[in-house]
Structure 1
Amino acid sequence: MDMNTLLPIIVQVITGIIGGQAVGVALKTAALGQLPKILGGAIGGVGGAAILGSLLGGGTIDPAAAATAAGGLGSVLDIKNIVGGAGGGAILTGIIGAVMGAMNK
């Protein structure tokens, strides 16, 4: 797998986990364990970044332009990857917390 493909996914997973952890702390009543917060954040991060990227027109990236921008990290540290990852991770973890909270009642 090419690093130009793998690095954005890693950024999306990490920011998704951060977003999931933030929502897990905010929703203390849902009593989420670490595993649902990590998995929900990681999956939501990749999904959220993909949705935001498609909405903002980030479907294709020119590898030559990405390599010249910021030493090759221009497409990786894109706002769509960071914000979409954190937002998607937070949203999916919140949904998981709401479902698990409703199941416990």
Structure 2
Amino acid sequence: MPDKKTAETKVEVTAAAPAEKKATAAKKPAEKKATAAKKPAAKKTAAAAVDSKVVIQAMGSEVNTAELIAKATKASGAKTVKKVDVYVRPEVNKVYYVVNGDILGDFDLF
């Protein structure tokens, strides 16, 4: 009958062998993902070159979204603006904004 130390050693060796294979297999796909990650970045640059304009028309008037962002930025009084979220509610003639995630406010749409 084998002693317990021999049986434990066999279990440890058997368990260590698959772990080594997994580590080797994990390295190869990681290299492929790094190469694939570079390609979508180039596509984003091409998409950013598209000229676009959004105009909101309501109650016989219209306003450009760029104007709304500029008004929200100015109304916030923030010195440095990293992010501007604008929410337009034409049914109540209001524009609500959040600048840098912490400055809230509103102004009339028209």
Q: Answer whether TM exceeds 0.5 for this pair.
A: no
Larger RCO, structure (CA 8 Å, separation 6 or more): 1
Normalised to the residue count of structure 2, the TM-score between the two structures is 0.28
User: As a proportion of its length, which structure holds more helix?
Assistant: 1
Normalised to the residue count of structure 1, the TM-score between the two structures is 0.29
Task: Mark the structure with the bigger radius of gyration.
Answer: 2
User: As a proportion of its length, which structure holds more strand?
Assistant: 2
